[in-house]
Amino acid sequence: MKWNYRLLSAIAISLGATLTGCSSNFTNISPEPPQNYTRLGKATGSACGSLGALATAYYFIPMGINTRIERAYDDALESVPGAIGLVDVTAQENWYWWLIGTARCVTITGEAVK
């Protein structure tokens, strides 16, 4: 009977560690705009990164994936001349397979401000 409790405890701990390892907090994509700002128009930017190597279950080599949100945000700022920030920001992520990995692309859309 003790063995069953140990097994159940090990399964519960493993499951708990797995589920909490997949969670995260909200991330601030856009800094706070200045008190008085002027809206300049819609801004859109995108950037991609990849996870690659071996087979589907073993994609583990990051290639530009960790900075894709920052690069997409900078691309959105550059799409509107004079923009210093974005308000009403949304992020959309798409992914697809390629020969030896997956590409994950993020598109940042918002209202450019100055």
Residues 1-60 pLDDT 10s: 456 777 788 888 877 766 665 555 666 777 788 889 999 999 999 999 888 776 556 666
pLDDT score at 22: 53
pLDDT score at 43: 97
Question: Helix H segments across the chain?
Answer: 2-21, 68-78
3-state helix, strand, coil in the chain (%, to 5): 30, 40, 30
Contact 29, 89 (CB under 8 A): yes
Q: Give me the residue label for tokens 């008190």.
A: 35
Confidence check: pLDDT of 90 > 70: yes
Domain boundaries, the chain: 37-114
Give the global pTM.
0.71
Class of domain 37-114 as given by CATH: alpha beta
Strand partners, 106: 47, 93
Q: What is the DSSP letter of 32?
A: P
